[in-house]
Structure 1
């Protein structure tokens, strides 16, 4: 049995691994960057080692530093978590060559499944059905465009080394193919160091179904049933559940058998996930489910599988890495109830899901469900890493009960001043199609503002906020006689403004004596709002009203599509910013001319910095 473990990761997955390791009596070692010096996973571990500067490429992605930390602390094994170096075959081999136990699959298995094109060719060879598309070595734009036309639009461009929604673009019109290809390859180069792509037929009613598999070094491979990850936004999973709604026994047997066959084809050892795409236009059917890829690591959504099977997958990982056989056989595994996981992100759905950074001055997460998190109150959401705050996991007797529990839990979230998607998640739980299980990967996009725009504040919340803001200092009755009525509290009309700039008038309000507040924050169904008294002010300029293009967050400039003096049209892309593992395109707010350009590719920027300034085409 492994006695000491270094976790080559951060945040909630590091905390998750530490919890199981400690329960097994395993000594834990954390690693951390400058930005994570005070992070929760650092304090939870028995020991911690600093490995570099805040950018991941200078710390968590530097394998030599992690191996050196393991040697310095006497760590017997390294667990990579997910992301970062978890699917890097060369790093896995370096760990093994250093005489350290690698808690993951063999490097050859990672390589076999690491490139999507090669993985699909292997699956075809063993009889696992794959999505129609192009997997060829000719990566010229002309050949890729021709193959996309042959497959038939819409198509999906996917980085062969991709994962986590990175390096993926849907294209509906041949005229958009070239730009989408360039953007996909650029993101793939940045995230994976490999620009090769494949082309797939885009399924118009797609369901994303994946199967948890587990193998040991004694030749046994089992599955732990399926998960449905169809609820996505920009190819990023939002809510996952297990089992999959609408999955009958025959289809489950077919897809799980295919997953085990795929794992055995690469002599798989450890935890892995076989991902399938299903055409759900006529429900889930065994003949309309195709292999997409394999993730040769633990998945973000692994807790839903744990909840329905009663298995601790991290414990299994550590036992199998230590040479033990799988604790259970296939016939010992069964589905119990229904589980769901919602990803709570530091982002603002009402502003195009822009990531939100800063100090978590107020953080309250529900205490009646399973929470996986790597942050705590007064901690920081850094611009350097994924903006996940927590995973909210529920387990219930059936799907409807699980949805109700998830609605309660997401609605109970309170976070400020960092913005979150909690209210967005709560509204998804109330969506009729989601409740009925008639979902696909396009549901969120089709709903649009119904899910992303917060509802109007409740009158009771407005009155409470106005009363607190308008409270009057406690003075003598003759010193403060405004609104005086004998034997009654003063009444007044109060104008307050929320953080979105909306003005609310609260009439005939009872004004109490007491200490007035400068700001009031209220929470309802996951949404946080702040209120202040509406003060007279002059005309505001800024944002894009005066042509200033401001950086919405700290990040790195990865593309500049215009030059000073260029004429631009409204909506034209000007600058592309990479922040928190995502690309954000900044566009022209009106027709005009680029009067000022203050950025160059590769440069860093901070929130609020003027990147460019435009003058209107119709300006005098």
Structure 2
């Protein structure tokens, strides 16, 4: 891999395992990092080297830029891959890596800072000619809120400008509700993201969440890998994803993928990223945000295109052009990904940390399991509760779902409650099978 030799993987869990494997396949050395809670983890065992970065709490380890930079220097890494979550979209972290003379495997710091601010990203989309949901700039004066709300119209969403991943969003249906919610929303945004800025956005009812995977290099190459539907959500957190988006008209698919490429070109994007949209019942689509990193659900895109997204990230970071152009990217079949979390759906999805006493993972044609744990490991209360991602491919959507049901029948975990049972119900649900569904469908289903 031109320009790269040794990559520090600044993350944990299944994405750390995924990146380490990609590094080894590319002939690169991989360095793992670990907190106190993760010393005996699977990714540490797989890596060529490892560095301890602090205590179990994420703020004292995986969210500590200084600890990660120190780890990169002490292990002689020449590049840092941030994975997803944690500091993956932190412009300050990317800038620190760049200023240390290392390669940040992701967008440039300036692009991260621009696209990480939701209001700035919205402005970039408008400048690129990409449709956006009607909304406002960040609210400068609370006294302006009535006028701004009148311009946008109810129902609307209060959104943190620095938010992401479905967090920092509050729906409101009246001016009184908005005035009551604004101070709390600003305080929440300051606490969660370090930035109290809030803007208003029109609520698009019963919309689908459709996102487009893009790749861009430093040689002018920008391509899309088609789209995914991520509409099966609970409290704006994705539980099940599909590729391609079921029932999407071909003219809409062509328009939405072209818009994603146009935005990536406009902002000078580099690396892997996802442009996210809402699609209403008429097929109109609206930009909502750009996730400037590899996505949790990238496996299903890899399954329908045959493109290794992480391998392309490494190529791009090494200064090489993309290994493909748009004409060479073909879509084949359908795929569905199920996030199996250590949560109890019967207790309002309460996390259930604890030891994995038994773990049986599925297999067979078209079945992929991404996980960072093995039997005997513990699901820590300090981090995301993901046990495994089950991604299933088929020649068509019907076969993909049939394989997903079989994979779920084979999946078995003891020691913690999980969402596997919920997914067994979902993948057999006639409404979901008929598809498509909207972003509040699951919450309405659960009551």
TM-score normalised by the chain length of structure 2: 0.96
Mapped partners of 1:303, 1:318: distance in 2? 16
* Residue of structure 2 equivalent to 1:194: 195
Distance in 2, matches of 1:414 and 1:145, equals 53
Residues 411 and 423 in structure 1, CA contact (< 8 A), matched pair in contact too: no
- How big is the shift at 1:182? 4.4
Determine the C-alpha separation between the residues in 2 that align with 1:309 and 1:105: 23
In structure 1, what is the Cα distance between the partners aligned to 2:411 and 2:141?
47
Q: Mark the CA change 1:149 to 1:329 in structure 2 (over 3 Å): closer, same or farther.
A: same
Which of 78, 81, 84 aligns to 2:80? It is: 78
- Residue 162 of structure 2 corresponds to 161
Deviation (angstroms), 1:55:
1.1
Cα distance per residue 1:224-247 (max 9 Å; x no partner): 111111111100011111101112
- The SS at the match of 1:372 is strand
Looking at structure 2, the residues matched to 437 and 275 of structure 1 have their Cα atoms a distance apart, in angstroms, of 19
Residue 241 of structure 1 aligns with which residue?
242
Please say if residues 160 and 198 of structure 1, whose CA atoms lie closer than 8 Å, have aligned partners that are also in contact.
yes
Match of 1:390 among 364, 388, 391: 388
Number of residue equivalences: 443
Alignment-derived partner of residue 428 in structure 1: 426
Residues 139 and 199, structure 2, Cα contact 8 Å, conserved in 1: no
Pair 321,83 (structure 1): closer, same or farther in 2 beyond 3 Å: same
Counterparts in 2 of 1:416 and 1:144: CA distance versus 1, 3 Å: farther
The answer to whether the Cα contact below 8 Å between 2:139 and 2:198 also exists between their aligned partners in 1 is no
Give the corresponding residue for 1:565.
none
Q: Secondary structure at the match of 2:123?
A: helix
Report the Cα distance in structure 1 between the residues aligned to 2:185 and 2:332, rounded to whole angstroms. Answer: 40
Bigger strand share: 1
Deviation (angstroms), 1:148: 3.1
User: Equivalent residue for 1:403?
Assistant: 401
Q: Choose from 438, 443, 446 the match for 1:440.
A: 438
Q: Following the alignment from structure 2 to structure 1, what is the Cα–Cα distance between the partners of residues 272 and 306?
A: 15
- Partner of 1:344, secondary structure, is strand
Over the aligned positions, Cα root-mean-square deviation in angstroms equals: 1.5
Paired residues of 2:215 and 2:270 also in contact (CA < 8 A): yes
Structure 2 CA distance, aligned partners of 1:112 and 1:446? 35
Equivalent of residue 361 in structure 2, options 344, 347, 365: 365
User: Secondary structure of 1:297's match?
Assistant: coil
CA distance in 1, matches of 2:165, 2:333: 27
Partner of 2:205: 204
Deviations along 1:184-211, one digit per CA (max 9) or x if unpaired, are: 4344333321121221111112100110
After superposition, where does 1:516-535 map in structure 2 within 5 Å?
none
In the alignment, is the contact (CA less than 8 A) between 2:225 and 2:301 conserved in 1? yes
Deviation at 1:155, TM superposition (A): 1.3
How far did residue 422 of structure 1 move? 0.5
Q: For the structure 1 residues 417 and 222, does the alpha-carbon distance in structure 2 shift closer, same or farther, using more than 3 Å as the test? A: same
Question: What is the CA deviation profile of residues 493-520 of structure 1, one whole-angstrom value per residue up to 9, with x for unaligned ones?
Answer: xxxxxxxxxxxxxxxxxxxxxxxxxxxx
State the partner residue of 1:335.
331
3-state secondary structure, aligned to 1:308: helix
Determine the C-alpha separation between the residues in 1 that align with 2:173 and 2:238: 22
Structure ID, larger Rg: 1
Q: Matched residues in 1 for 2:139 and 2:159: separation? A: 14
- Residues 40 and 376 of structure 1 are in contact (CA less than 8 Å); yes or no, is this contact kept in structure 2? yes
Aligned mates of 1:178, 1:49 — CA distance in 2: 48
Aligned pairs for 1:92-111 within 5 A: 92-111=94-113
* Residues 138 and 197, structure 2, Cα contact 8 Å, conserved in 1: no
How far off its partner does 1:413 sit?
A: 2.1
Superposition map of 1:274-289 within 5 A = 274-280=275-281, 282=282, 285=283, 288-289=284-285
Partner of 1:356: 352
Q: Which residue of 2 aligns with 1:220?
A: 221
Aligned-residue offset at 1:146: 4.7
Q: Relative to structure 1, is the Cα distance of residues 432 and 54 closer, same or farther in structure 2, using a 3 angstrom cutoff?
A: same
Measured against aligned partners, the alpha-carbon deviations of 1:306-338 in whole angstroms (never above 9, x if no partner) come to 010101111000011000010001100010100
CA contact (8 A) 1:228 1:241 kept: yes
Decide whether the 8 Å contact of 1:131 with 1:200 is kept in 2. yes
Q: Which residue of 2 aligns with 1:545?
A: none
Q: Structure 2 CA distance, aligned partners of 1:425 and 1:143?
A: 45
| 1:102-141 matched pairs, under 5 angstroms | 102-138=104-140, 140=142
Q: Show the counterpart of 2:258.
A: 257
Which residue number in structure 2 is paired with residue 26 of structure 1? Answer: 28
Partner SS for 1:298: coil
Residue matched to 1:14: 16
Q: Larger relative contact order (C-alpha < 8 A, sep ≥ 6)? A: 2
Q: CA deviation at 1:143?
A: 3.1
- CA shift in 2, pair 1:188/1:366, >3 Å: farther
Give the structure 2 partner of residue 614 of structure 1: none
CA distance in 2, matches of 1:418, 1:182: 38
Q: 1:180 to 1:417 in 2, by over 3 A?
A: farther
Instruction: Give the one of 293, 298, 303 matched to 2:299.
Output: 303
Q: Is the 8 A contact 2:138 2:161 kept in 1?
A: no
SS in 2 for 1:255: helix
